[in-house]
Structure 1
Amino acid sequence: MEIIVRSEDTLSYFGNLFMVPVHLIIDSNPKVDPDNLRPGEKIQVPGYISVPYTIKEGNTFWKIADEKNLAVDSLLLLNQTKDADHLLVGETIFLPEKINSPFTETNFPSDYKRLVKIINNLKRVYPFIAVNTIGRSVIGHPIHEIRIGKGAKKIHMNASFHANEWITTMVLMSLVNQYLLSLTNGTLMKGITVNNLYKEVELSIVPMVNPDGVDLVLNGPPSNYRDSVIDINEDSDDFIHWKANINGIDLNNQFPANWDICKEYKKVNAPAPRDFPGHAPLTEPEAAAMAQLAEDQLFDCVLAFHTQGEEFYWGYEGFEPKESEHLAKEFERESGYQAIRYVNSHAGFKDWFIQEFKRPGFTLELGKGINPLPLSQFPRILKSAEAIFIAAITIQ
């Protein structure tokens, strides 16, 4: 929500008026000098939108404020061009409305277009977040990263490496949305006050690593790829079980962590709906973008959201540090998921991260059943994922 500074206004006053932490207002306005506001300057207030209201007979700002449980000065601030003593019946003013419910929807699958809409809504209402493009998919879709927080501890989470695991995007975005609501409203998230975490942790979120694959599963192939993907899919136009990117390469088998062993073990030598690791590591733009992000940011910990199994994997070839075991025990205790140190798997993002940086990495297998998991599992999956999310950002 945008407001305009008046003489004597301060960001602290805005924080008190709208009950929003002042550091979130400061971070929502990076080009503003917080100690020297200028009258006429535009300020973004996070966690709010302004909504139109049509003046009725007998309305005054004071009556409207009382009826809507608003501070009178919030109305005066939003409607500085109006004559507060002579409101006209039928004219439009604006009321501040605090956002108390998420933008994320859980009644139908989230494809790339729906994800972009949600990200744009979050950026509009929570301008203290950063939205970056870390690369582009094969088709050319931007691969988005959301950054939240200013802390020294850097944690990365991602989802939808695999196309038919699109429910992981919905889970991760629901967690992000709830975290933002808790930051601006001062509410608890799984019994935890998260406001201090904003100053302690920088979150990096890539909610859809494989946008082309997700759209293929949910919407079918784009016209210029139809022939190639149907050929890869053995002449079938049913893509419900497709895991790979649109080139038929499994993105989570693309990383240089014993890639040769992965290629030998998978025994898939050509593009396929699943398991083909490509002809070399990091050939696919989506995998290359994720590797570059990790190399640039040097995360302290990474969590990759997958399905299914209600378990998670936390070791790789003995490269995992001692703190990984402590985190794994906490994740297991909080979520009820089984912690598994080693599995016969190579060339995954988690494998490569642990090998490359000797820092904690986790592959989370959310839910249980046959992929794609049904949306009926979403509440149960979200509950366990939230427990891991909170544990990851709170454990020192």
Structure 2
Amino acid sequence: MHKLKVILMTLVLLLSSLPFITEAEAKGGIVNPNKVYTYKQMVKDINTLKKAYPDQIQVKVIGKSEYGRKIYAVGLGKGQANLFINGSHHAREWMTTSLNMYMIENYAAAYTKKQKIQGYDAKKILNSTTIWFVPMVNPDGVTLQQYGLKAFPKKTHKSLIKMNEGSKNFKRWKANGKGIDLNRQYNAGWKEINSPAIPKYKNFKGYAPESAAETKAILKFVADINPEMAISYHSTGKILYWNWKQPKANYKRDYQYAKQIGKMTGYSLVFAGKNPSGGGFTDWFIHAKQRPAFTPEISKAYYETSPPLSEFPGAWKENQAVGLYAANESAKLKQKRIETESVKLEKKLKTLHTKAKGLKTYYYAIIKQENDVKLDKKHKALYNSITAESNNLAREVSLLPAKNRKKLSGYFSKINYYTNKSTLFMDSVSTGENLITAANKLDLSFTQGKLDDVTLNEQKVLKQSYANSENKINKMYGKLVRKLSKSKYVLPAKFTADNTQLEIDRYTLSLSINDLIKNGKIEDATTSLVKLNELEKKSKTLKQNSPSKYKTYPKIEEKLIQMKQFIEEELKNAQEPLTEQLPEE
């Protein structure tokens, strides 16, 4: 019986030392965390995982390291809310890459098998959230720490050794390939960070914040995916960083998340003092995005080296459900943020609707006489302000789910009611002004005695223009506005067109008679001359009876009379030979 107890206790100890994978197992065991995990192995595993789970996993290259190594992002899930998890900001902390990759595989397998991990339903959570992993932020540093100088060009060896304080042993290396500590690069308290003056194997913050290629790639990627929450894995300490100068409300919120992650992992929460050191990704994310971020340190403390592989089973046991928990909370955060943004947008739209009502003043309320029908600078400025704000709000609303968009769409219809009326008013006035310009141009041509194909075309265009203008004015808001607009623009243009029509008819008929005479059609020419006299008489009568409406153009009259006299002379000459040949009685 004693031997049996010993055997059972031995089995328990052996099982507890193995990698701790609960309900979900990695499909096919693609990721092996029980060996030194290299950049090359990570790339191979990412491609294999993509093939194994094509419907769940997407892969992106988000940038390149200082030495040109591709920085990979792996998206897992199908939801609109995003969680961002990353690893290996520091070279010697590559075990966090193993953890990232193992998490990806186990979550994908749990999704496929409809399994739960520590009570968290992987499929349900990943249908509402996408977890974006950047498993290895610092591929150059990791490669240098694992392989040493042989993985880098010979021309760089001297500078790498110098940054490593003369040593060719790079097991303690923490920085990127250019000697910049990537977790001191972010612009959150960067200026206050104590740092070596020159690049070094650890702690050099860079000559400027966010200057390293790897940092730039991460910042751009965060801007692209806009995550609700972030977890930046590091190793050494089994502690949890979670706060950096948050406002009181955010502090209270984030503290609740930190306590839960601390409970899940067993890690002690770090409470920063009044002036905490910054520059880290988590510090920056909390400060810049005003959203929760965490830095779990996944192993015991090891000085100037990477944690041994024996630390991984414990790290996995402690963190296996952290990603799903954070993803689930990210979905809630996004929904809450959407509702908050919807309320803010609705308030802005209500204010804009009130502002849009003010447009009515300019296209209707103040218009009492013809001089009020005009393009007003204040009207245009208000209109431009409203349309610009409306377009900006429309872009913001377009990012919301369909349900929220539908609720807010009515405000745009109300706002557009006033902007459309303003558009029509300003367009009609602008067209009317152009119409008057065209009428004045034709009037000037006639005043100057110009009567040719050009003026004929001007008159033709004017007639078409006042018809189009009248159609627009008929759609303007307000009966009085329409009446005054027609009086100001359409009627004067119509008078000018009508006033010149008889003169143009006389001119074109005179040209026609000349052609008849040239072609020997004397009888037809004589008949047309009678019509020409009738038109001349009609024109004189109209101008005498309505001098204010029908204007007389002396130079045009002189020209037309000369043309008629020429016609009469030509007809006389054409008829004389016929008279001479008549037989005597």
Alpha-carbon distance in structure 1 between the residues aligned to 2:289 and 2:192: 20
Give yes or no for contact 2:126–2:327 (8 Å, CA) kept in 1.
no
Counterpart in 2 of 1:184? 112
Aligned length: 296
- Superposed, which structure 2 residues align to 1:336-375 within 5 Å? 336-342=266-272, 344-370=276-302, 371-375=305-309
Moved more, 301-310 or 225-234: 225-234
Structure number having the greater helix percentage: 2
Structure number having the greater strand percentage: 1
Tell me whether 1:245 sits opposite 2:176 in the alignment.
Answer: yes
Give yes or no for contact 2:34–2:312 (8 Å, CA) kept in 1.
no
Query: Which of the numbers 149, 170, 178 marks the counterpart of 2:77?
Result: 149
Query: Which of the numbers 90, 94, 99 marks the counterpart of 1:166?
Result: 94
Give yes or no for contact 1:335–1:387 (8 Å, CA) kept in 2.
no
1:307-352: CA deviations, max 9, x gaps? 1111111111124454211111111111111122326321111111
1:162-194: CA deviations, max 9, x gaps? 000011100111111100111112233223321
2:233 match: secondary structure: strand
- Superposed, which structure 2 residues align to 1:9-48 within 5 Å? none
Give yes or no for contact 1:321–1:359 (8 Å, CA) kept in 2.
no
Counterpart in 2 of 1:115? 42
Structure 2: gaps spanning 5 or more residues: 1-24, 333-585
1:345 match: secondary structure: coil
1:222-256: CA deviations, max 9, x gaps? 13422221121122110001100010000000011
Structure 1: gaps spanning 5 or more residues: 1-97
Counterpart in 1 of 2:310? 376
Amino acid at match of 2:178: N
Counterpart in 2 of 1:287? 215
Tell me whether 1:100 sits opposite 2:30 in the alignment.
Answer: no
Counterpart in 2 of 1:127? 54
- Per-residue deviation, 1:390: 2.8
Larger Rg, first or second structure (1 or 2): 2
Moved more, 113-122 or 224-233: 224-233
Give yes or no for contact 2:184–2:205 (8 Å, CA) kept in 1.
yes
Query: Which of the numbers 202, 220, 224 marks the counterpart of 1:274?
Result: 202
Tell me whether 1:194 sits opposite 2:122 in the alignment.
Answer: yes
Alpha-carbon distance in structure 1 between the residues aligned to 2:191 and 2:167: 30
Alpha-carbon distance in structure 2 between the residues aligned to 1:149 and 1:373: 30
Alpha-carbon distance in structure 2 between the residues aligned to 1:104 and 1:287: 26
Query: Which of the numbers 316, 328, 332 marks the counterpart of 2:258?
Result: 328
Alpha-carbon distance in structure 1 between the residues aligned to 2:200 and 2:97: 23
Amino acid at match of 1:307: S
Alpha-carbon distance in structure 1 between the residues aligned to 2:202 and 2:219: 20
TM-score, normalised on structure 1? 0.72
Give yes or no for contact 1:330–1:391 (8 Å, CA) kept in 2.
no
Alpha-carbon distance in structure 1 between the residues aligned to 2:243 and 2:66: 30
Give yes or no for contact 2:63–2:70 (8 Å, CA) kept in 1.
yes
TM-score, normalised on structure 2? 0.49
Moved more, 340-349 or 303-312: 340-349
- Per-residue deviation, 1:132: 0.4
Give yes or no for contact 2:129–2:327 (8 Å, CA) kept in 1.
yes
- Per-residue deviation, 1:99: 7.8
1:114-142: CA deviations, max 9, x gaps? 10010010011111211001110011011
Give yes or no for contact 2:27–2:106 (8 Å, CA) kept in 1.
no
Alpha-carbon distance in structure 2 between the residues aligned to 1:168 and 1:135: 20
- Per-residue deviation, 1:296: 2.2
Alpha-carbon distance in structure 2 between the residues aligned to 1:108 and 1:122: 18
Give yes or no for contact 1:302–1:350 (8 Å, CA) kept in 2.
yes
Alpha-carbon distance in structure 1 between the residues aligned to 2:177 and 2:231: 24
Give yes or no for contact 2:120–2:321 (8 Å, CA) kept in 1.
no
Alpha-carbon distance in structure 1 between the residues aligned to 2:233 and 2:65: 19
- C-alpha change, 1:126 and 1:104, in structure 2 (3 Å) is same
2:141 match: secondary structure: helix
Root-mean-square deviation over aligned CA pairs: 1.6
Give yes or no for contact 1:158–1:209 (8 Å, CA) kept in 2.
yes
Give yes or no for contact 1:143–1:208 (8 Å, CA) kept in 2.
yes
Q: Which structure ranks higher in relative contact order (CA pairs < 8 Å, sequence separation ≥ 6)?
A: 1
Runs of 4+ in 1 over 6 A off after TM superposition: none
